[in-house]
Amino acid sequence: MAPEATTEPHASSLPASIDSLRAVPDLGRYGPDDKTVDALERFQRACNYLAAAMIFLKRAPTNPKTNLQKSDVKSRLLGHWGTCPGLALVFAHTNQIIRESGERFMVVTGPGHGAPGVLAALYLEGSIERMYPDYARTPAGFSRFIKSFSWPGGFPSHVNAETPGQIHEGGELGYALSVSYGSVMDMPDMITVCIVGDGESETGPTATAWHAHKYIDWAESGAVLPILHVNGFKISERTIPGTMDDRETVALYTGLGYQCCIVEYGDLNNPTAKHDTQLQKDLYAAMHWAVAEIRKIQKAARSGKPIDKPRPPMVVLRSPKGWTGPLKLDGNPLVNSFRSHQVPLPKAATDDEQFSMLQDWLAAYHPESLWDFDAKDSIIRPDVCDVVPESDKLKLGLVKETWRGHQALDLPDEWADYGGAKDLKDETSPMLATGKYLTEVIRRNPKRFRIFSPDELASNKLNGVFDVTHRNFQWDPETAHKGGRVVEMLSEHTLQGYMQGYALTGRYSVFPSYEAFLSIVDTLIIQFAKFIKVAKETNWHGPIPSLTYIETSTLWRQEHNGYSHQQPGLVGTLLHLPRNIVRVYMPPDANTAVSTMGHCLRSTGYVNLIVGSKTPGPNYLSTEEADAHCIAGASVWKRFSTDEGRDPDVVLACAGVEVTAEVVHAANALKKDAPNLRVRVVNVTDLLVLSLPGAHPHALDQPAFESLFTADKPVVFNYHSYPGELASLLFGRGDSTRFTILGYLEQGTTTTPFSMLRMNEVDRYSVAAAAVKACSKKLDVQAHSLRSHYQHLKRKQEQYSEEHGTDPEELSTTVLFEQ
């Protein structure tokens, strides 16, 4: 029974007017003392000095005004300065609130290109030294650290998997907010501070992710504190939020369901020490107010009287772009201008004026008050880190979930008990069987497994999971406060972000979708695969749960929706990724689908793609055979072959559900129509076993490959997706002319199921005709008449479907098992 919901004015009531929205009442009671303001300011000066030095210098000068030389400036100036001061500001205040409260926080940085600011903060707290002893906080380690940024063998110019405490790279803008919300699901004591760049906020994924709080059950999950960092400019233009006034800003975010607090830096065009101090006080108060509001909402939810539609806090932080850097260059503004976005002084190594400006810039941070260059141990003066939490467990770069968070699932020992087909004569939906298995996974793992689905779970026949769980939409009174494991939202972008945040903090999930629409997030899947690759190469990073995607409602069964829904392109995208990261499975029936799902949920460090069908279909393999087949990745199907596949004249191979059925039908037809032709049927369920040896961990060596496909006999390969993908995998496997590859030819419309197969020449008649053509010498005078016969049958089917609007009953996919 769901707890009784209540309404609390502090969290759910709208203000009486827009004019009352600009500031949150009673912020003054959260104000810091002068000692705290000084500590916050020192930490930021140190961060900003380090960030600027990393962008420009090969070493750390003891005095920038006297012993910095042009030769100390890097030849290639890479990095982004403009956002770094704002990042340092947020890191400082997050550290301070952790130190005061003893509570656990993470920080997700949307402006991932602001890596110098992030790395500087992590260096000061000691996380960099913990993970990279060469960059110790000694004078020598300090100089090595500064040089390492954007230097061969050092840190890259963007935040990535090598950055301690970071779970979002930011290379694909727009996903920081959804990743943050995914990170706090099922972590009730965690707050993730999400810095959303104002340029990033212009993206579609960010626009949709502002609704993510409506999917957070405050009783079971943590919270996200979004900080929209408005510094006003992108690379060469203003940002949309940078042009919005207070009324417009607050109206927008109030409408999205937040309590909005605006914190801004006095006169953005006239930086002064007075403005600096007031900004510290205002942000300190705003963040403490925000945490207090979060705790109120959580307390209500966890006391059994959750607030109906709670309105979580957010902060709009306006600070000058490039703040604390040089004000002008050649008469043009740098601070509060797009000109500070990347490298404000691009000719510092060669131009006297710019070099002098760099000296003044670094000296303005008073490095003598920050660093002790004569120290034998720590170069950092003690009071610089007064805001840093004392416990390693609370430091932002060492939060366990960000690098050692993996939680293995409790999975059934016998997957066949939860959805495998027992009788091979019974047609079963692979997705229906998979849903039964996932139901048991949810039952065993109520707090570390979720399904993220774009509103298609029932359509994709996985809705059996609702026997043990609910949807998790908190703004729907029927599903709110019920601890649902299924998040359905019509935004693949937001679901992808949730999934990444959930996985990168140690938990498992699956993402089922119509095949045609998973490509919407293919660029972010690429980014995630790259993150995993780097994490595996980083010796301190622990295992990361795999992301598992289920492509169903595939192109071959989208004949009712039409051409736009007939698109299998994600497979090809994944084949271009690092092969040791990618797994592509095409289980041909229910038993192999469930076995494959169990395998994927045990795996770490991969992007798994399962291409399956929701339509009831034949069961080719018993549970024991399915396990053996999935372990091998490919095998000869003896019961559908001539003489159990021995000494074949032709190999009929297949990968994919619907095309496999057509191969089996073609084999049966050939055994009847050409009894002297010896046919071997081979099914491939693990697509990447076809890779050349060494190209993938699962790749077949040549003897194993030839044991399936022979060394010299013709092979007709019926493939689920684009033929070129398969050709690229088979390239280098001997004589390529012996392979005839059939696949999707971009021929489609609203038509009948068999017509889709026929139009793309992957139907049983096309497969049989291709086999006859490949074996024309063996069949001799029979070859032409047989091919003509199959062409005639195809034409008859076409005529029948055009006349009746359906397929002939005899073209059922039911397989005739040979005795």
**Any idea where the domains of the chain sit in the sequence?**
19-390, 415-611, 633-811
Query: Does 313 score more than 90 pLDDT?
Result: yes
Q: What is the mean pLDDT of residues 608-630?
A: 93
Nearest to 285 by CA among 27, 33, 40, 22: 27
The yes-or-no verdict on residue 697 having pLDDT over 50 is yes
CA 802 from chain centre, in angstroms, equals 44
Above 90 in pLDDT, residue 5? Answer: no
Cα-based distances in Å from 32 to 282, 284, 285, 693, 773: 9, 7, 7, 63, 83
**For residue 593, what are the contacts with CB-CB under 8 A and spacing of at least 6?**
430, 431, 433, 434, 587, 610, 612
CA distances from 469 to 103, 450, 457 (A): 30, 10, 13
> How far is 388 from 91, CA to CA, in rounded Å?
10
Higher local confidence (pLDDT), 200 or 819: 200
Distances from the Cα of 619 to the Cα of 256, 425, 561, 719, 817, angstroms: 48, 7, 26, 19, 10
Residue 29: CB atoms within 10 Å: 10
125-129, 377-381, 399-403, 452-456: range with lowest mean pLDDT: 452-456
| Residue 1's pLDDT band (cuts 50, 70, 90) | very low
Backbone angles phi, psi at 655, to 5 degrees: -150, 110
pLDDT of residue 3: 53
Measured in whole angstroms, the distance separating CA 461 from the mean position of its chain's CA atoms is 24
Of 460, 489, 458, the C-alpha closest to 473 is 489
Name the pLDDT band for 618 (thresholds 50, 70, 90).
confident
Task: Using alpha carbons, list the distances in angstroms from residue 538 to 106, 165, 345, 709.
Answer: 20, 13, 33, 39
Instruction: Give domain 415-611's CATH superfamily.
Output: Thiamin diphosphate (ThDP)-binding fold, Pyr/PP domains (3.40.50.970)
Determine the distance from the C-alpha atom of residue 166 to the mean position of all C-alpha atoms in its chain, rounded to a whole number.
Answer: 14
Q: Which of these, 127, 132, 173, lies nearest to 155 by C-alpha position?
A: 132
Closest CA to 448 of 220, 615, 654, 683: 220
Q: What is the distance between the alpha carbons of residues 113 and 149, in angstroms, rounded to a whole number?
A: 12
pLDDT tens readout for residues 568-606 = 999 999 999 988 899 999 999 999 999 999 999 999 999
CA angle, residues 768, 769, 771, in degrees to nearest 5: 65
Instruction: Round to whole Å and give the CA distance between 494 and 206.
Output: 8
Binned at pLDDT 50, 70 and 90, residue 814 comes out as low
CA 538 from centre of chain:
19
Q: What is the pLDDT of residue 414?
A: 86
| 492-506 CB burial, b ≥16 within 10 A, e <16 | bbbbbbbbbbbbbbb
Quick one: pLDDT at residue 415? 85
Amino acid making up residue 35: K
What is the tens place of the pLDDT at every residue in 151-185? 999 999 999 999 999 999 877 789 999 999 999 99
Contact 5, 308 (CB under 8 A): yes
DSSP state of 609: E
Mean pLDDT of 69-76: 96
Rounded to an integer, what distance in angstroms lies between the CA atom of residue 558 and that of residue 260?
A: 44
Partnered with residue 605 across adjacent β-strands are none
The tokens describing 785, both together, are 């008449």
Please choose, from the candidates 66, 160, 79, the residue with its C-alpha nearest in 3D space to the C-alpha of residue 116.
Answer: 79
User: In one letter, which amino acid is 439?
Assistant: T
Q: Which of 508, 587, 501, 592 lies closest to 552 in space, CA to CA?
A: 587
Q: Cα–Cα distances in Å, from 208 out to 202, 246, 410, 629?
A: 11, 21, 33, 42
Q: What is the mean pLDDT of the chain?
A: 92
Q: Say what percent of the chain tops pLDDT 90.
A: 87
| Coil, strand or helix at 224 | strand
In the prediction, which pLDDT does 595 show? Answer: 95
| Alpha-carbon gap, residue 560 to 449, rounded angstroms | 33
**Phi and psi (nearest 5°) for 305?**
-130, 70
Residue 260 near residue 250, CB atoms below 8 Å: yes
User: Is 419 a residue whose pLDDT tops 90?
Assistant: no
pLDDT of residue 810: 82
Task: Tell me phi and psi for residue 35, to 5 degrees.
Answer: -60, -40
User: How does strand 607-611 pair with strand 547-552?
Assistant: parallel
Choice between 19 and 717, residue whose per-residue pLDDT is larger: 717
Residue type, 175: Y
CA 704 from chain center: how many Å? Answer: 35
End-to-end CA distance of the chain: 54
The reply to whether CATH 3.50.50.60 applies to domain 633-811 is: no
Tokens of 65: 């005004």
Confidence at residue 817, expressed as pLDDT on a 0 to 100 scale: 52
User: What does the pLDDT read at residue 659?
Assistant: 97
Please state, in angstroms and rounded to a whole number, the distance separating the CA atoms of residues 363 and 236. 28
What CATH code is assigned to 19-390?
3.40.50.970
Give the pLDDT band of residue 812 (cuts 50, 70, 90): low
pLDDT score of 266 more than 90: no
> What is the C-alpha separation between 792 and 775, in angstroms, rounded?
20
Q: How confident is the model at residue 7 (pLDDT cuts 50, 70, 90)?
A: very low
3-class SS of residue 477 = coil
Rounded mean pLDDT, 296-308: 95
Dist CA 135 CA 18 (whole Å) = 50
Neighbouring C-beta atoms of residue 278, cutoff 10 Å:
16
How long a stretch of residues is the chain? 819
Percent of the chain residues past pLDDT 70, beyond the cut = 95
Question: How far is Cα 667 from Cα 659, in angstroms, rounded to an integer?
Answer: 12
CB count within 10 Å of CB 237 equals 10
Return the number of other C-beta atoms located less than 10 Å from residue 782's C-beta. Answer: 17
**Residue 78 burial (C-beta neighbours within 10 Å; 0-12, 13-18, 19+):** middle
SS3 (DSSP) at 207: helix
pLDDT of residue 421: 65
Query: By three-state DSSP, how is residue 499 classified?
Result: helix
- Label residues 181-201 b or e (16+ Cβ within 10 Å = b): bbbbbbbbebbbbbbbbbbbb
Q: Each residue of 175-227: pLDDT tens digit?
A: 999 999 999 999 999 999 999 999 999 999 999 999 999 999 999 999 999 99
Asked if domains 19-390 and 415-611 share a fold, the reply is yes
Residue in the structure block whose two tokens are 């409408």: 255
Predicted pLDDT at 9? 36
Please, where are the H alpha helices in 199-317? 204-209, 246-255, 273-302
Task: Output the DSSP codes for 628-668.
Answer: HHHHHSEEE-GGGSGGGG-S-SEEEEEESHHHHHHHHHHHH
Separation of alpha carbons 808 and 811, rounded Å: 6
User: Considering just the CA atoms, what is the radius of gyration of the chain in Å?
Assistant: 31
What pLDDT sits at residue 26?
64
Does the pLDDT at position 272 exceed 80? no
Which residue type sits at 117? G
Cα separation, 791 vs 804, whole angstroms = 20
Output DSSP code: residue 156. Answer: -
Cβ proximity of 42 and 384 under 8 Å: yes
CB-based contact 707:602 (threshold 8 Å): no
Instruction: Annotate 467-487 with DSSP letters as a single string.
Output: GT--B--TTSTTTTTS--SEE
Q: How many CB atoms lie within 10 A of CB 155?
A: 22
Amino acid letter, residue 155: F
Compute φ and ψ for 98, nearest 5 degrees. Answer: -65, -45
Q: Where are the alpha helices (DSSP H) in 69-138?
A: 84-101, 115-125, 127-131
